[in-house]
Amino acid sequence: MSGELAGALKERVAIGVHTAGDAAGAAGDPVFGAPMWASVESETPVIGARAERLSAPARYTIVMRGEASAKVGDRLQWRGQALTVIAATRDPLRPDRILLRAEARV
């Protein structure tokens, strides 16, 4: 891992894994693993450019180490907030990191 990435990871983010519940395999609340180091930046809302509502949920750009197993739909826990991954990108030129976009959902 490059020193540039290591110095940028200043937040702790836990990835939630959905498990089958006891009720006929129904999905329950996610089980969060150990927190991992990440870089979290708030995205500024662009009202009108992407047809977003005035009450659109807060969105974040999150960079984690490449071994993170987050995928679209996973839940993240950061500073007491529950975030949902809406995009996950792995750059073949930078395999040591994964770029996530997440939004705060209730």
Walk along the chain (106 residues) and give the pLDDT tens digit of each residue.
566 676 778 999 999 977 765 555 556 778 888 999 999 999 987 666 555 566 678 899 999 988 888 899 999 999 999 999 999 999 888 888 999 999 997 6
Of the candidates 36, 41, 44, which has an alpha carbon nearest to the alpha carbon of residue 76? 36
Q: Encoding tokens for residue 98?
A: 């994964």
Cα dihedral 73, 79, 81, 87 sign? negative
Q: Encoding tokens for residue 83?
A: 């975030």
Domain encompassing residue 22: 3-104
Q: What is the CATH number for 35?
A: 2.40.10.270
Separation of alpha carbons 35 and 29, rounded Å: 17
Nearest 10 degrees: Cα torsion 58, 64, 70, 72 = 40
pTM score:
0.78
Domains contained in the chain, number:
1
